[in-house]
Amino acid sequence: MPAVRGWWRRNLWGLLALVPVFALAVGPSAKEGIDRFNRFETYRPITVGADGWADFAGVRIKLVEVTPTTDAKTFGGDPFVLTGGLTLWRVTITIEAPSTNALAGCAVKLEDKEGRIYGSDPSEVDAARLPYPGCMPEDDKAPPPFQVLNYFVMPESASPAAVRITRSTETPRYIRFPVGG
């Protein structure tokens, strides 16, 4: 008489097949839900006042300038040159804060007219002597208001549409400064 196999042994392959079937059934809808949450619920821009200032995280911030630049230098002091159809952009921001580290951990990003977002510490400028990106001045004792510089690399075909300033402790709020007209 043949040995009787238990329920688990008879149905093992069927149970194993359920794992990928479940993942295929739930995965796309879960990703869509996360994307929808991030797109609609998580990010709310702060309105910039008519004077150009925005109140954010207990400080006041103003976008001063967004301009293409060639003023970057290498660590040896030579002019830093980007190649391959890229442009270096400098963003100047003024911050009124009680201390220079009031916005420590902020991130400054540049948005182009196509909606693409560029970070302020791209690998293309690793050989350039640039200030540390963010919202803190190079001089820890700088009196308020102080200015910070952030540099971005964009393709020559792209043009800036906005500057975004975020801070993880302030999510979902962020500042969006429109650029140009």
Q: Are 109 and 95 in contact (CB under 8 A)?
A: no
Q: What integer pLDDT is reported at residue 31 of this predicted model?
A: 67
Q: Can the peptide bond before residue 98 be classed as cis, meaning omega within 30 degrees of 0?
A: no
- CATH number where 85 lies: 2.60.40
Same domain, 28 and 101: no
How far CA 70 is from CA of 87, 88, 138, 151, in Å, comes to: 9, 7, 20, 11
- In order along the chain (181 residues), what is the average pLDDT of each group of 10 residues? 76 84 74 63 78 92 94 90 91 92 89 92 88 87 90 94 91 89 56
Same domain, 69 and 153: yes
What are the pLDDT digits (tens) for 62-78? Answer: 999 999 998 889 999 99
Same domain, 34 and 54: no
Q: Which domain holds residue 89?
A: 46-178
Same domain, 24 and 60: no
Record the pTM: 0.74
What's the domain count of the chain? 2
Q: Spell out the residues 6+ positions from residue 13 whose beta carbon is closer than 8 angstroms to its own.
A: none
Same domain, 34 and 56: no
Same domain, 161 and 74: yes
Same domain, 114 and 79: yes
Same domain, 34 and 52: no
Same domain, 37 and 53: no
